Each structure stands twice: as structure tokens, then as C-alpha cells.
């Protein structure tokens, strides 16, 4: 499906839902929640999101999770199972299958390719501690996380 155009006032709402997926990719995200964030009915939201971004919200979410998994597999000493759960997949089988569809190789093969060379790997305990600090609302080691595009604009954002 080729990405299409939607009116600018609708695009703002679709971006808000996409930003929500980007921020909360570790958590279960359902169509009704995303449609509510966008202020659209479920099926109208699904059609517009698919037309605009060339993929369904579910596919977008799983691709986002695989992207983050690639980062973790490259840079940390976490096991594939730990990475699977850290990025929001509940099943190792579905994670491995989706990872292979997106990257062309299994998570283990991907990790082994990066383990041969490169920088020292980050201990998994640091990754998990960082995640706990972020969930508690504490700033990370480089200060607070950057604001989303919606939050930085005056008069826009707040509770969605």
C-alpha cells in the first residue's frame, strides 16, 4: 500500500497517535486507545493511519519494537529472551518470527554478528535500571528526556 495524503488537521491527530506508539512501544497498545488519542473512530483511524504511513498501527508497533531490539542486541549483554520482553513482545516465538521478517536473520544471528567486534557491551542490569528510572519519571544520566513535539508547542498537548 502506498502512503497517501490526508488533510493537515487530521494528520496532527494521526501523528499524536504515532507518537504515543513511539513512546509506549513496550506496553500493550490497542486500536481503541490509539483511535481515542487521535479522536477518530477505530476503523476510520485504521484506514487513515494505513493510508498515511503505509502500514497498520500494529505493524508500525512491531517494527518499532524490532528497531529497539536491534539496539539492545547490538549494545548490551542481554539474552534474546530478555530483549524480547524488554521491547514489549510477550512471546519469544512471535518476537523471533517478526525479527526475522524485518531484518532477514534471527535475533541470535544478529546478536552474534555484532558480538564479534565493536565496543564493549553494556551490562543488562544498567539497561533495566535505566528503564525503571524512566518509568518512575526520574531523569536519565543525560538529564530529562526530550519533550515530544506536541508537548513543546504552546497551547497544544496536555492530556490526550
Asked whether residue 1 is domain-assigned, the answer is: no
Range of the domain at 13: 8-55
- Give the predicted TM-score (pTM) of the model: 0.71
Asked whether residue 156 is domain-assigned, the answer is: no
126 & 73 share domain: yes
Burial of residue 129 (CB within 10 Å: 0-12, 13-18, 19+) is: exposed
45 & 101 share domain: no
73 & 46 share domain: no
74 & 25 share domain: no
Q: Please say if the pLDDT value at position 158 is more than 60.
A: no
Asked whether residue 153 is domain-assigned, the answer is: no
pLDDT tens digits, one per residue of 115-145: 776 555 565 565 555 554 555 555 444 444 4
Asked whether residue 151 is domain-assigned, the answer is: no
List 76's β-bridge partners, or say none.
122
**How many domains, in total, are found in the chain?**
2
* C-alpha distances in Å from residue 30, one per residue of 24, 58, 92, 97: 11, 8, 20, 21
pLDDT tens digits, one per residue of 23-37: 999 999 999 999 999
Amino acid at each position: 500500500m502506498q502512503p497517501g495524503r490526508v488533510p493537515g488537521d487530521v494528520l496532527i491527530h494521526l501523528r499524536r497517535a504515532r507518537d504515543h506508539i513511539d513512546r509506549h512501544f513496550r506496553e500493550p497498545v490497542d486500536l481503541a486507545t490509539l483511535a481515542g488519542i487521535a479522536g477518530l473512530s477505530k476503523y476510520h483511524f485504521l484506514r487513515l493511519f494505513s493510508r498515511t504511513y503505509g502500514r497498520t498501527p500494529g505493524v508500525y508497533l512491531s517494527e518499532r519494537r524490532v528497531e529497539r531490539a536491534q539496539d539492545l542486541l547490538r549494545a548490551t549483554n542481554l539474552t534474546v529472551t530478555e530483549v524480547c520482553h524488554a521491547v514489549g513482545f510477550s512471546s519469544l516465538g512471535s518476537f523471533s518470527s517478526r525479527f526475522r521478517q524485518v531484518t532477514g536473520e534471527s535475533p541470535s544471528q544478529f546478536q552474534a554478528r555484532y558480538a564479534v567486534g565493536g565496543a564493549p557491551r553494556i551490562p543488562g542490569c544498567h539497561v533495566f535500571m535505566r528503564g525503571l528510572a524512566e518509568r518512575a519519571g526520574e531523569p536519565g544520566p543525560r538529564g530529562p528526556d526530550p519533550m515530544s513535539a506536541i508537548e513543546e508547542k504552546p497551547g497544544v498537548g496536555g492530556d490526550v
